[in-house]
Amino acid sequence: MDLPSLRLTGSADVSVRPARPEDAASIARVQLVTWRTAFGRLLPADVLAAWDDTAAAETWRAAIAAPPSPAHTVLVAVDAGTVVGFAATAPDGDAREVTVLLVEPRWGRRGHGSRLLAAVTDLARAAEVSTLTTWLAEQDTVTSRFLEAAGWAPQGAVRLLESADDVVRQLCWHTRLDGDGPAAEREGKP
């Protein structure tokens, strides 16, 4: 992926970069570990029980190697050569949706999530996208506090994800990149 306008963040040991196909197994590992440890109570049991490492890695490999469009991106957070987190985006009308942003819990609170979100924001601005969106489980207070601190707010939309044994209520969060969003409203800007 050619990202000349992306401001890659971090030092040589800690950075964010576009994902490569060979990162797919590491991305799948981060996803599973994070889902089990951080979201185990929020995710339906059948989702975790049905996890297939090989299938997940192949899905990520395909998403990286042959994305459906240039607006579909996958970035990884790297710490001392190890993939410790990732973010994926997709077009959402005139906006860009952050479909996933996860940092393996044992690597949390080291700035990896903030670096991933900054890189996603840089890509969106470079593509002249003015709004970012994401969906969060209503009970995910950790991620909602993280996004709120970064200038995001609930948009008001709700969706229900149903599985064989549960329903997860998700809230849509958003931020504007043109200065007209929740962060600007908190700062008293029109």
CATH of the domain at 32: 3.40.630.30
- And the tokens for 155? 């948009």
The answer to the question of residue 1 being in a domain is no
The answer to the question of residue 179 being in a domain is yes
Q: Which of 107-121, 124-138, 155-169 has the highest mean pLDDT?
A: 124-138
pTM for the model stands at 0.84
For residue 128, what are the domain limits?
Answer: 14-186
The answer to the question of residue 57 being in a domain is yes
- Is the pLDDT score of 129 beyond 60? yes
Tell me the pLDDT band of 187, cut-offs 50, 70 and 90: very low
Kindly report the average pLDDT of the chain as a whole number: 85
Q: Give how many domains the chain has, as a whole number.
A: 1
CB contact at 8 A, 129 and 177:
yes
Give the DSSP letter of residue 23: G
In the chain, pLDDT over 90 holds for what percent of residues?
64
The answer to the question of residue 21 being in a domain is yes
Q: Hey, what amino acid is at 128? A: E
